[in-house]
Amino acid sequence: MSDFNRGYARSIPADRADMSVDAGLRSFMLGVYNKVALGLLVSAVLAYITGQVEPVQRLLYQVTADGRLAGYTILGYVVAFGPLAVILFGAFGMKNATPRTSGIYYWTIVALLGASLGAITLLYTGASIFQTFLITATAFGGLSLVGYTTKRDLGPMGSFLIIGVIGLMIASIVNIFLGSGMLAFIVNVVGVLVFAGLIAYDTQRLKMTYYELGGDQTAMGVATNYGALSLYLDFINLFMFLLRLFGDRR
């Protein structure tokens, strides 16, 4: 993808960087958080358009008479799997990214993922979506604050969590064929724990990245985009696992 990836900038221990007094770091992190917030706003708008604006809805989804999701159209499947395809392309096909190309990469994923989230507006009530979003936002803020302020090195935990993500993907694919309610519940619970941990880990990793880059503005531009992408995906995944656990279906 680029030099910015999970595990990058691990050469500076967390307890060597006093994050509370570095104005440059605060500015860098604020840029990341602003991009995440704007990405979530864009995703929410696109999810509403694709899920609730009828002409667009018909292009992507098959909907029952009472407004519930019954299936996807061909275009709907393209949109649903589009984010994964773009992420894989970035992981294996983007070398020597610039601030511009990494920015295009970030906003492409945000747009595609936002459009694909229209399906949840057909599966869950608006009230439960809103409540789950507020819970996720509160948890995200608290967990990111922990990652920002802790002097403990979260690197070892991060390695374990990344293995957890791979396990979640495998279990989810297996359960497509098994259709086990219990396995689905376990996956959702573990998913909440894994992505809660990743929010703290990725926040600390961003801090270490800032110091490792040593003021290189071009590299920090790239790191801002990839850092925003990491936290954005952490947020979306935590939100989806919580929604599957506690959301009220239509």
**Is residue 82 assigned to a domain?**
yes
**Is residue 3 assigned to a domain?**
no
Model's pTM, two decimal places? 0.87
The contacts of residue 224 (CB under 8 Å, 6+ apart) are 28, 31, 32, 35, 99
The contacts of residue 20 (CB under 8 Å, 6+ apart) are 149
Q: Name the pLDDT band for 158 (thresholds 50, 70, 90).
A: confident
Instruction: Give the per-residue pLDDT at 4.
Output: 40
Mean pLDDT of 13-18: 50
Domain that holds residue 79: 14-246
Contact 244, 195 (CB under 8 A): no
Mean pLDDT of 163-186: 90
Mean pLDDT of 211-217: 83
Instruction: Give the per-residue pLDDT at 8.
Output: 41
Instruction: Give the per-residue pLDDT at 18.
Output: 52
**Is residue 185 assigned to a domain?**
yes
* Residue 19 pLDDT > 70: no
Total domains, the chain:
1
**Is residue 90 assigned to a domain?**
yes
What percent of the chain lies above the pLDDT cut of 70?
92
Mean pLDDT of the chain: 88
More confident residue, 218 or 3: 218
72-111 pLDDT, tens digit per residue, is: 999 999 999 999 899 888 877 777 889 999 999 999 999 9
Q: Name the pLDDT band for 23 (thresholds 50, 70, 90).
A: confident
What are the DSSP E strand ranges found in the chain?
Answer: 61-63, 69-72
Contact 86, 105 (CB under 8 A): yes
Map tokens 């006093």 to a residue: 18
Q: Name the pLDDT band for 168 (thresholds 50, 70, 90).
A: very high
**Is residue 146 assigned to a domain?**
yes
